[in-house]
Structure 1
Amino acid sequence: MMCSKIIPLGFLLFCLFHHAAIGASPLYHFCFSNENYTAYSPYQANLNQLLNLLYTKVPPTGFGFGSTGQYPNQVNGLALCRGDVSSNNCKTCVIDASKELGERCPNRKGAIIWYDNCMLKYSNKKFIGQIDNANKFYMWNVQEVDNPTRFNEKVKQLLSGLSTTASSNPKLYSTGVVELDKSRKLYGLVQCTRDLSKSDCKKCLDVAISELPNCCDAKQGGRVVGGSCNFRYELYPIVSS
């Protein structure tokens, strides 16, 4: 079972039982630019060059950004892989993301796509180093917990702690786990794109975490996924050991 809904702020909301089973399918995408480029134009040539740059630049460290060409045909872009993803899987994800955006947002000058393993964004506008609050969506598990007040407090406590840890980590990434009771654990993950400063990373994550009541109240799992940062929590392990 899956449902979606557009809300006034432009965030996309998803609900699902267990998204991990979907595998390498995209989580979502936005063709956010209203401007188009023409086939075989300088902009397309610069976009292809940028994507080739990201294929090679991102996998070794899990993050990379760059710009190709000159105004008015300059293309800016970045790609981020989840902190535990191997270089090979990172490269595969970035390549898949590039191909998928070409099919889903043909000729658009700005677009973004997310997978479980990576995200990719490009635009004719300069955005590197700026918090992206425009491109964002929610996901949650439709199953609810039995003790929502205590559970919600535990989720916020875990994610807020991870926000602080991530903002002081060079990879701007952090994971953690807390015990809910003798038989259940709560797992969390937060991450920012590494073009942000440490303070902007924490600011981005704290804003995302403040949206918990809107996206994931009493839900067994949830995410706020954005163009600059994201968080996820589940009642099962969500990263590679």
Structure 2
Amino acid sequence: MHFLGLSPLYLVSLSLLLQGVLGASPLYHICSTTQNYTSNGTYETNLNKLMASLSHRVPHSGFGHVSVGQEPNRVYGLGLCRGDVSSTDCKTCIANAKTQILQSCPNDKGAIVWYDYCLLKYSNDDFFGKIDTTNKVYMCNTQNVSDPATFNSKVRELLNQVATKAHHGSKMYATGQLVLDGSEKLYGLAQCTRDLSRANCKKCLDDAINDLPTSCDGKRGGRVVGGSCNIRYELYPFVSS
């Protein structure tokens, strides 16, 4: 999948983190800039069929991937909902993502959009089973903690724990928490798209943890969302128990 820029890695501030908390606004999207399809052509027909298929498949289990058509107009796509999200909320998120991605990336042969509850991605390249090393968005809270060095160590400890749990789990999804000083708790999440092997899931998550930018050091929350996996930590519970 060929997306915009040489290295489309984005750092997004607290304002976009809050969008995910408050509602159905997308966190971010990336459009292909290298290949376009013709309106009302075969590729668009296949893309519409793919979107309909994902809208049906994904809410049942929280994940789905499918390809439609024949080369050179074959389309590959997947949808993923956060592991704690209900099938009803998953269906709504995928429907919103479908509308958003087609509006934001008209006639692009590849695109990806992230929401707090879901991810939707399609391409004319067969990306199934491959780690997406290109499409990542970094999001950091703008507020600092009082002891950055100790906090950063706890963040890495927790994210390593949930990454290990996620790549072993049937849904490739895990959450966890650590008690900090006093009664304060640190919450974490890790999740992979289920087309990945367990080894590739672990590698994707390990790379995401290592990719947390220095600008997130000592910040009260942060995440890396990608095309194959995502991680997140916060000082407040952000998933359903």
Superposition TM-score tier, normalisation by shorter sequence? over 0.9
Q: For residues 75-114 of structure 1, what are the structure 2 equivalents within 5 Å?
A: 75-114=75-114
Residues 113-156 of structure 1 deviation map (CA, whole Å, 9 limit, x = unaligned) = 00000000000110010000100010011000000010000000
| 1:183 Cα deviation from its structure 2 partner | 2.7
The one-letter code sitting in structure 1 at the alignment partner of 2:34 is N
| 1:213 Cα deviation from its structure 2 partner | 4.2
- Aligned mates of 1:9, 1:106 — CA distance in 2: 22
- Aligned mates of 2:58, 2:79 — CA distance in 1: 7
- Aligned mates of 1:117, 1:52 — CA distance in 2: 19
The gaps in structure 1 that reach 5 residues or longer are 1-5
Give the alignment's TM-score, normalised by structure 1: 0.95
Match of 2:137, SS state, is strand
- Give the aligned partner of residue 176 of structure 2: 176
- Aligned mates of 1:145, 1:122 — CA distance in 2: 38
The one-letter code sitting in structure 2 at the alignment partner of 1:185 is K
Deviates more, 1:61-70 or 1:21-30: 21-30
Deviates more, 1:6-15 or 1:214-223: 6-15
Q: For residues 5-44 of structure 1, what are the structure 2 equivalents within 5 Å?
A: 9-16=7-14, 19=18, 20-44=20-44
- Give the aligned partner of residue 126 of structure 2: 126
The 8 Å contact of residues 21 and 116 in structure 2, kept in 1 or not, is answered as no
- Aligned mates of 1:56, 1:206 — CA distance in 2: 32
| 1:33 Cα deviation from its structure 2 partner | 4.4
RMSD across aligned positions (CA): 1.5
The 8 Å contact of residues 58 and 91 in structure 1, kept in 2 or not, is answered as yes
The 8 Å contact of residues 113 and 119 in structure 1, kept in 2 or not, is answered as yes
Distance change (3 Å), C-alpha of 1:142 and 1:77: same
The 8 Å contact of residues 31 and 108 in structure 1, kept in 2 or not, is answered as yes
- Aligned mates of 1:233, 1:138 — CA distance in 2: 12
| 1:7 Cα deviation from its structure 2 partner | 9.8
Match of 1:188, SS state, is strand
Distance change (3 Å), C-alpha of 1:215 and 1:94: farther
Match of 1:106, SS state, is coil
The one-letter code sitting in structure 2 at the alignment partner of 1:209 is I
| 1:212 Cα deviation from its structure 2 partner | 2.4
Structure 1 runs of 4+ aligned residues shifted over 2 Å read 6-10, 212-215
- Give the aligned partner of residue 185 of structure 2: 185
- Give the aligned partner of residue 70 of structure 1: 70
Residues 165-215 of structure 1 deviation map (CA, whole Å, 9 limit, x = unaligned) = 111001000000110022310000000000000010000000000122435
**How many percent of aligned residue pairs carry the same amino acid?**
56
| 1:64 Cα deviation from its structure 2 partner | 0.2
The one-letter code sitting in structure 2 at the alignment partner of 1:106 is P
- Aligned mates of 2:48, 2:8 — CA distance in 1: 29
The one-letter code sitting in structure 1 at the alignment partner of 2:198 is K
State the number of aligned residues: 236
The gaps in structure 2 that reach 5 residues or longer are none
The 8 Å contact of residues 33 and 111 in structure 1, kept in 2 or not, is answered as no
The one-letter code sitting in structure 2 at the alignment partner of 1:238 is F
Residues 97-122 of structure 1 deviation map (CA, whole Å, 9 limit, x = unaligned) = 01101110000000000000000000
